[in-house]
Structure 1
């Protein structure tokens, strides 16, 4: 391994421009994937924040006593889809209306608003089917007069989430494939630049493994360096957008590390394929000479 690392570094000193070009190409290829991932991450975060606002509001009958309302609230709280059930008294409802609709404060001075139950759903249980199931259960409660949850809005949110997931997957695969092709072509150029060296090594009896290892190390190091550079560029883009456009969320540490590791693996695989192809070509040429 030390020999392979030494030969990879020697190769970089012999052709520094080619090595730098390879790292830069890998970095910008992964940078494009990173930018897309950053956009997808923030879209997903925005959708989660919107989903957190999904709630069911059940208005209590004027004739319902407190014991019956609390019994219904306790029963609804036991539903697996429900996270919290909060009782809002008429006074609290009026205070909220005055606070949230300050320009209409005078309208509420003599108003009387009904008591209600605010029902929030658990994470992962905010889909259309779960909301409708809970809403149906709420309607059956004896103390409840009316149920509202923005049915059309919930359906539109579900459609947006589905479209975003499918589009994100398709575009993510397309960006990843494009990056893989570009990285493979870049590594292939580095291998072709040393084609005569490979041929000479095989002629003097070097095994395929002996010839292949330095190229695998070289590709892995280039992929690792390119991945780190792409991460720095993505972080810089995130900082600029957060400062001048809109605040964004960066990848978790585990995701960022996985991206750098992906660069190293991509460089390794591209090197393995490229040097393997060159070795097969050298072997075919030797058979023809014999």
Structure 2
């Protein structure tokens, strides 16, 4: 029997991100993707204007109620964009219900990047998102999100001491394993810092490709989750996810409108991973 992931993300109809990324990528690794949409948007919120936005909190509750007689189980619960603070409580309930010693919860606290909180969220949402930290077996914030969650001043360029301090603060809030993305020690390189329970921090860097590409965090998280479900060790899974993101950026023409995300489909078609 194939393994499966419950992906709790929004559906952005245009712009490669969230479930339109998670479904094809996770499935490509031979893992069934089960969906629980948090919102329906005409496009994602980055760079587009006039987008439609439908909060699906009520429908999520109806779906979860309909699932109860099915006695479902999941090999991973992988969450991303939450449409409201109320949905965070719904997600906490999902993890309480379906979390076991054998499966893995991966929480991406999607709410900010490049030193700024996304416009659809406020300070109260940040506090609510912090409540999810103890519910994650693997927490995958970018640097901006980690700083917001720990009330730490954002730094565009970091060092090992700063990263250790940041992860330490996340641990104080209940974090188990942490995968920090967007880590930059020197100009021209970007990577990850991975810390498992009671283990030293490991870093991995790659050459930074210029430009801002929407949806790469969702690409990273989807590959990471799929590899973890397949039994890969966390640091190796994170390195694979970095490599996949880099290949996806390389596959995207320089002239392409970056709002539409990276052409990860070309990477899937190449069968490199």
Bigger CA radius of gyration: 1
| TM norm structure 1 | 0.19
Higher RCO, Cα 8 Å, sep 6+: 1
Whose strand proportion is higher, 1 or 2? 2
| TM norm structure 2 | 0.20
Whose helix proportion is higher, 1 or 2? 1
